[in-house]
Amino acid sequence: MKIFNSIKWRLQLWYGLILVVVLAGFGFTAYQLEYGRQMRRIDGELHLRFGMLANALHESMPRPPNRPRFGSPPDNQWPEDRPPRHNPPPQKFVLPDWAARFFDATNRYGYYYVISRDEHELDRSTNAPVEDHDRFARNPNYINAPPTLPRNEPPVEYNGEPVTDADLKNQRFAAGQPGSAWQRGDFREIVTDLPSGEWVVIGKNITPELMELHRIGLELTLIGGIILLLGLAGGGWLVSRAIKPINEISATAVKISAGDLSQRINVAEAESELGQLAAVLNSTFARLETAFAQQKQFASDAAHELRTPVTVMLTQTQTALNRERDAESYKQTVEACQRAAQRMRRLIESLLELARFDAGQEVLKRMHFDFSKTLSDSIEMVQALADERNVKIISEISPLEITGDAERLAQVVTNLLTNALQYNRPGGEVCVKLNVQNGLAVLEVADTGQGIAPENLARVFERFYRADSSRTGAGNAGLGLSICQAIIEAHGGSIAVTSQPGSGTTFTVRLPVA
């Protein structure tokens, strides 16, 4: 079902199940505790009245002859075929007034008693149940098969030993001691065989107590139901509040997927887990927007750069085809197309190089080499351009070996030197320094040229970015410094630029030595 696929409803379902289990356990425990308290109170009253009734019998009834003080036969067993007792005829027993006040005969729910001997009833209170105790009076072995011990009562002990259900059935405990109370329907009773030969039943109709327990059970159920409803309502509110940021994240993601990259998630609680997630996603969306903007700008700039040589080629070929020309004119047209094609080739190669670096597909040759020699070779290669522009190259190079791709790093040095010479003033200088600082190889290429304006300084590494005072390379397409940055970062290094307009520019490259 769709409802179970929702995090909100799954959380609500688990919360509800846990709450139901807790409330049911609490209600059951509370009911059992109240039931045990009520039964212990009644059992205490039953034992109290048994003691009073036993004393009254002891004072008023003669003890039969040949009757042991404790009625248990040898081996604590009652044989089913035991001989009948030979006692004097039973006497009518009258409960003394001092003991009768503990039995309210007018109250059907009060405490009652039944006393019998040798299948003859001696006395009973008027509120005692008739049907079962008539059977009890006719059958003295009635006590041999009482129900089992009540399960909610503390263990019954005799002479320091616990009394079990089997002991009850076998009557192993000594006669004359009040047995454990047991429940028979709506009656709570103690049935005991006294040493003097009487069978005594002390009981109480516990219908009011059972009704009270029933009422307490209903109240606990009602209170539990109310608490469950309030808990589910509160839990639903809490769950909705907890997953609200998720809904906002989903809504924002839908808008962004539709093309509105300016959307951001409203972070209300920045310190919470979802608030931190929203902050991370906002940062990701911001980078995504920047990347898309750069991609659009990159595509536009690439199209613009490619359009110029294509236009030149089309113009030259169209002019050559309009009318017949001499061989020299055709040669000039072909040369112009060749220059345009070479420019396109350099641009395409630079774009492919950057694409490989962006995709992580450019494989660098990791080998140990002399970086100072690579630097000297690059200076020697551009020396002709320096002489042409009347720029002096000053080198302060310390011997240094590093690990990396010598060809790619030579490309970086050549690009930086070419830019420093191209945008220097006539009679100027280019200072090249190489040394070690804080475990890093530091290369500085400084010129005395026109410098870069502050508003352009932060953008010199952007692809296709060009200004009158910015650095360009790779065929003046604005990709040279971007390629240099990609190569340096692929080596785990960094490149930075500082400039003072009118005084010159310094590029600083930092590379790990190992």
pLDDT digits (tens, 9 = 90+) for 406-441: 888 998 999 899 989 988 988 899 999 999 988 899
Reading the block at residue 382, the tokens are: 């551009």
Domain segments of the chain: what residues? 7-78+85-211, 273-359, 367-512
Residue 424 DSSP one-character state: S
Q: Bigger pLDDT: 414 or 93?
A: 414
Mean pLDDT of 347-376: 82
Mean pLDDT comparison of 190-199, 237-246, 498-507, highest-scoring range: 498-507
Q: What is the pLDDT of residues 281-331, one digit of tens each?
A: 888 888 888 777 777 777 776 776 677 788 888 888 888 888 887 888 888
Mean pLDDT of 221-243: 87
Residue 146 DSSP one-character state: P
Q: Is residue 146 within 8 Å of residue 193, measured between CB atoms?
A: no
Reading the block at residue 16, the tokens are: 């509800």
Q: Is residue 496 within 8 Å of residue 443, measured between CB atoms?
A: no
Q: What is the pLDDT of residues 18-57, one digit of tens each?
A: 999 999 999 999 999 999 999 999 988 888 888 888 887 7
Reading the block at residue 468, the tokens are: 């009158």
CA distances to 7, 44, 267, 312, 342 from 332, rounded to whole Å, are 73, 127, 65, 13, 15
Average pLDDT taken over every residue of the chain = 77
Q: What is the C-alpha separation between 312 and 117, in angstroms, rounded?
A: 135
Q: Which of 45, 23, 25 is nearest to 33 (CA)?
A: 25
- Where do we find the tokens 């059970």? 217
Q: What is the DSSP string of 128-149?
A: S-SHHHHHHHH-GGGGGSPPPP
Q: pTM of the full predicted structure?
A: 0.47
Report whether pLDDT(145) > 80.
no
Mean pLDDT comparison of 34-48, 60-74, 132-146, highest-scoring range: 34-48
Task: Write the CATH number of the domain with boundaries 367-512.
Answer: 3.30.565.10
Q: What is the C-alpha separation between 469 and 459, in angstroms, rounded?
A: 12
Report whether pLDDT(147) > 50.
no
Q: Is residue 400 within 8 Å of residue 434, measured between CB atoms?
A: yes
Class of domain 273-359 as given by CATH: mainly alpha
CA distances to 234, 287, 344, 366, 509 from 492, rounded to whole Å, are 54, 22, 31, 12, 11
